[in-house]
């Protein structure tokens, strides 16, 4: 037969699908599976989510992916897969009688649904034709408030055409900027209230935006304090309890600004939520002195400090051995000249935080605040078997460590363990007796049953697990906090964890956040409404214009830092829209209207499909307890919208927000 005719015949057969294209098996556990996960706890290849052998009803599997709690795995196939297969079930280490549901969803259609499965049930096989499917999602639904649920996608694999591989979902939505650039005239952006304990060192920086240089003065500054006119850094000491009202002034070549500050000398510090940076989601265990100093320098050079961003917090992995004159935790080799580093950061007008734990070892495997040895030392065998020593030892060193932090000039402590009241109180007392005001933040997943204890003992308390850069994680971390709201307030703030903006390392290598731009606006809005700590979790020097704009809107930050200190409450949740309302000190309100798009109501709602549309929404004032006329101001656009009577019409993007300041009109 003529070669040309043979070729034409082969092409014709390919077009009709009679001759199959070349395919290959791609095991999910051979992919960088963490980068596909939008769940909160760990997802692990070739093991269950506890890191042990994968076993369902006594049968071991060498291939597969182990997940925990509600799990979302999202794959972009772009029509390059032909089959998906797996065996699903609850791992033998799972919880008895807890229902799990497995789903496979392709381009919004449910391709497989397991029904309820429990520990001990026979696993179910999945064999699906996925020809032509662009996006495929693997979902496990289980109670998100229960840990160690352990579900398995055993033997999970794709058949992929040619040499194609599944990809992570593209996040190419336009990064639209809403907030206008700051004026050249000076504007003071510091919090309006500041707390300090009597006799303790005082450090407060007047944050001001505008054309540089800016010069600072303070009227009615009480005796014992002084201000540096070039930096706006106020230092000194106040011995008497009481409230001092001072007038901050900032002046440059274009104009001047002023703002009243109330200094309250008493028993309570952190009168507004801490606002700054934490190094874990930037560098994890790779943090070192140079990265910390670079972050502090970037806080100033990028202009964040002009908008009130203050804390530079070192997370886990700075700790060395116990020693020194106080037999306290000393820095490891990555942090030489620790006190010199702290002094340098203070010289920039910023504050410094560190990490510790009451356990023998931290989660990253470094020395903690207790030991089974009287001298508190940690041995190589303990370090090499760190997971076995995540408990509180016989000997405790809270006083040693608190006094060492105070001697260095530390301003913030993140204390991380399986939270209990006794350990929380011991460190609380030690910090208060250290001679320095050290903001006390406990982590993670504080039990709600002891919410009043966390409010009594700490300055911030983590309300949930470690956050991930996904809508599922953000929703679980922040949109479910209404029940916690009564326990947040001046000196004791609800903490949903770090912010998941910019480039982050949450569960995989440094990568741009997977939140869409709309989700990022919602993220910053809700954290501000909740009066949550604002801790940037990305390398500051890598901020792009969009993310920097998100973090430097003074009207949004002012909502977070409002002196009244009230957390927003969820006042309406219907038809896929949540409304959160926060009272402010001046008698106005901050109001967030969030399009959550019925998230969690259907299996499809756990995934982003790329065709989501905005909604039109009518806000009825009386339905959220507001009566009369109100002047509305768009906080993100910093623009007055007018006076409205009874209702307000708007459009909200998918997973987006309209953030308003609401002023009663008499």
Q: Which residues are catalytic?
A: 416, 466
Number of Cβ atoms within 10 Å of the Cβ of 143: 13
3-state secondary structure of 150: coil
Taking alpha carbons only, the member of 413, 456, 452 closest to residue 436 is: 413
Q: Where are the beta strands (DSSP E) in 433-551?
A: 439-443, 460-462, 493-495, 503-504, 511-512, 534-536
Taking alpha carbons only, the member of 470, 463, 481, 539 closest to residue 506 is: 470
Instruction: Give the neighbor-by-neighbor strand order of the sheet with 493-495.
Output: 493-495, 460-462, 439-443, 412-416, 351-356, 311-313, 275-278, 534-536
Instruction: Give the neighbor-by-neighbor strand order of the sheet with 201-205.
Output: 201-205, 233-237, 225-227
Q: Is 207 exposed, middle or buried (0-12, 13-18, 19+ CB in 10 A)?
A: buried
Q: Which helix (H) or strand (E) holds 356?
A: strand 351-356
Number of Cβ atoms within 10 Å of the Cβ of 447: 12
3-state secondary structure of 474: helix
Taking alpha carbons only, the member of 28, 446, 528, 436 closest to residue 196 is: 436
Cα(32)–Cα(34) distance, integer angstroms = 6
Q: Where are the beta strands (DSSP E) in 383-497?
A: 395-396, 412-416, 439-443, 460-462, 493-495
DSSP 200: S
Q: Where are the beta strands (DSSP E) in 546-600?
A: 569-574, 577-583, 589-595
3-state secondary structure of 425: helix
* CA quadruple 162, 163, 167, 170: dihedral sign: negative
Is residue 28 within 8 Å of residue 104, measured between CB atoms? no
Is residue 376 within 8 Å of residue 368, measured between CB atoms? no
CA angle 582, 587, 588 (to 5 degrees): 55
Is residue 53 within 8 Å of residue 69, measured between CB atoms? no
Q: Which helix (H) or strand (E) holds 435?
A: none
Structural tokens at position 63: 């291939």
Q: Which residues of 631-643 are buried (b: 16+ CB within 10 A; e: fewer)?
A: bbbbbbeeeeeee
């Amino acid at each position: 037969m003529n070669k040309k005719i043979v070729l034409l015949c082969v092409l014709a057969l390919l077009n009709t699908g009679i001759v199959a294209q070349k395919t290959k098996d791609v095991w999910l556990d051979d992919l960088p599976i963490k980068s596909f996960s939008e769940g909160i706890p760990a997802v692990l290849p070739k093991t269950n989510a506890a890191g042990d052998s994968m076993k369902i009803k006594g049968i071991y599997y060498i291939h597969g992916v182990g997940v925990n709690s509600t799990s979302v795995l999202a794959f972009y196939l772009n029509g390059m897969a032909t089959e998906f297969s797996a065996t699903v079930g609850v791992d033998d280490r799972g919880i008895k009688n807890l229902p799990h549901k497995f789903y496979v969803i392709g381009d919004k259609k449910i391709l497989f649904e397991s029904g309820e499965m429990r520990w001990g049930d026979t696993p179910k096989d999945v064999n699906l034709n996925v020809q032509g499917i662009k996006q495929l999602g693997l979902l496990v639904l289980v109670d998100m408030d229960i840990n160690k649920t352990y579900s398995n996608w055993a033997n999970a694999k794709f058949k992929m055409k040619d040499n194609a591989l599944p990809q992570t979902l593209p996040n190419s939505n336009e990064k639209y900027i809403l907030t206008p650039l700051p004026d050249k005239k000076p504007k003071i952006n510091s919090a309006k209230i500041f707390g300090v304990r009597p006799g303790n060192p005082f450090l407060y920086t007047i944050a001001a935006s505008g054309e540089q240089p800016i010069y600072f003065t303070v009227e009615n500054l009480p005796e014992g304090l002084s201000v540096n006119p070039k930096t706006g850094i106020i230092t000194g000491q106040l011995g008497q309890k009481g409230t001092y009202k001072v007038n901050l002034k900032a002046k440059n070549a274009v104009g001047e600004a002023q703002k009243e500050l109330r200094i309250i000398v008493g028993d309570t510090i952190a009168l507004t939520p801490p606002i700054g940076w934490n190094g874990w989601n930037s560098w994890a265990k790779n943090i070192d002195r140079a990265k910390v100093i670079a972050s502090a320098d970037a806080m100033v050079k990028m202009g964040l400090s002009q908008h009130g961003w203050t804390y530079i917090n070192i997370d886990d992995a700075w700790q060395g051995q116990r020693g020194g004159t106080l037999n306290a935790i000393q820095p490891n080799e990555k942090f030489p000249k620790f006190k010199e580093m702290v002094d340098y950061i203070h010289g920039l007008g910023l504050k410094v935080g560190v990490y510790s734990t009451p356990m023998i070892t931290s989660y990253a495997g470094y020395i903690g605040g207790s030991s089974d040895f009287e001298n508190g030392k940690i041995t190589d065998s303990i370090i090499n078997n760190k997971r076995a020593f995540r408990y509180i030892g016989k000997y405790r060193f809270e006083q040693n460590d608190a006094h060492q932090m105070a001697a260095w000039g530390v301003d913030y402590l993140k204390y991380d363990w399986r939270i209990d009241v006794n350990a929380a109180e011991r460190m609380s007392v030690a910090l208060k007796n250290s001679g320095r005001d050290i903001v006390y933040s406990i982590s993670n997943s504080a039990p709600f049953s002891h919410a009043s204890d966390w409010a009594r003992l700490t300055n911030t308390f983590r309300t949930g697990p470690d956050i991930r850069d996904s809508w599922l994680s953000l929703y679980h971390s922040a949109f479910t906090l209404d029940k916690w709201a009564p326990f947040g307030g001046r000196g004791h703030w609800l903490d949903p964890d770090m912010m998941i903006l910019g480039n982050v390392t949450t569960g995989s290598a440094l990568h741009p956040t997977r939140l869409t731009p709309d989700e990022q606006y919602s993220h910053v809005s809700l954290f501000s409404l909740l009066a949550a700590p604002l801790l940037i979790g990305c390398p500051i020097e890598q901020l792009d214009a969009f993310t920097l704009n998100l973090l430097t809107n003074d009207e949004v930050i002012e909502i977070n830092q409002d002196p009244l200190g009230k957390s927003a409450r969820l006042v309406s949740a219907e038809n896929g829209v949540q409304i959160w309302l926060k009272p402010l000190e001046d008698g106005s309100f901050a109001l967030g209207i969030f399009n959550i798009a019925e998230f969690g109501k259907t299996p499809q709602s756990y995934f982003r499909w790329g065709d989501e549309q905005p909604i039109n929404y009518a806000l009825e004032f009386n339905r959220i307890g507001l009566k009369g006329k109100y002047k509305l101001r768009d906080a993100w656009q910093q623009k007055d919208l007018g006076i409205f009577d009874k209702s307000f019409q708007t459009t909200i993007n998918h997973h987006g927000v309209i953030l308003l300041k609401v002023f009663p009109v008499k």
